[in-house]
Amino acid sequence: DAGVIQSPRHEVTEMGQEVTLRCKPISGHNSLFWYRQTMMRGLELLIYFNNNVPIDDSGMPEDRFSAKMPNASFSTLKIQPSEPRDSAVYFCASSFQGYNSPLHFGNGTRLTVT
């Protein structure tokens, strides 16, 4: 089992550009989570999918952020347009059954917006 796979590991972009982060959850897991981590705010949940359906997107900062899960093996988090304050490490996690089972995290994407 390769674990949760995120790409890219690092992304540097200029303000105003579109950024797309990708995640492949563990096979057989039906829940997927996107978290963001900064020094100031720690780990924050952005959005939670269950069976490819968004269940809780209350953590998505604003309309510039969107997330999709077109199938059970792939999810994207898109920021358009990006801003310097979006600089953070973005983690994807998956679990067998929502919060009823442990979350398995990827190694994150470090985003820098200049």
Partner 1 sequence: DAKTTQPTSMDCAEGRAANLPCNHSTISGNEYVYWYRQIHSQGPQYIIHGLKNNETNEMASLIITEDRKSSTLILPHATLRDTAVYYCIVTSNFGNEKLTFGTGTRLTIIP
Catalog residues that contact partner 1 under the rule CB under 8 A. 4, 33, 42-43, 45, 48, 55-56, 91, 93, 98-100, 102-108
Q: Which is nearer to partner 1, 72 or 103 (CB)?
A: 103
- Determine the 3-state secondary structure of 99 from DSSP: helix
The Cα-based distances of 40 to 37, 44, 85, 87 in angstroms read: 9, 11, 11, 12
Q: Which is nearer to partner 1, 3 or 84 (CB)?
A: 3
Q: CA-to-CA distance for 79 and 34, rounded, in angstroms?
A: 13
Q: CA-to-CA distance for 64 and 25, rounded, in angstroms?
A: 24
Residues 108 and 37: beta-carbon distance below 8 Å? yes
Residue 101 beta carbon to partner 1: minimum distance, rounded to whole angstroms: 8
Residue 70 beta carbon to partner 1: minimum distance, rounded to whole angstroms: 22
Q: Which is nearer to partner 1, 59 or 81 (CB)?
A: 59
Residue 16 beta carbon to partner 1: minimum distance, rounded to whole angstroms: 28
Residue 52 beta carbon to partner 1: minimum distance, rounded to whole angstroms: 16
Q: CA-to-CA distance for 26 and 28, rounded, in angstroms?
A: 6
Q: Which is nearer to partner 1, 56 or 83 (CB)?
A: 56
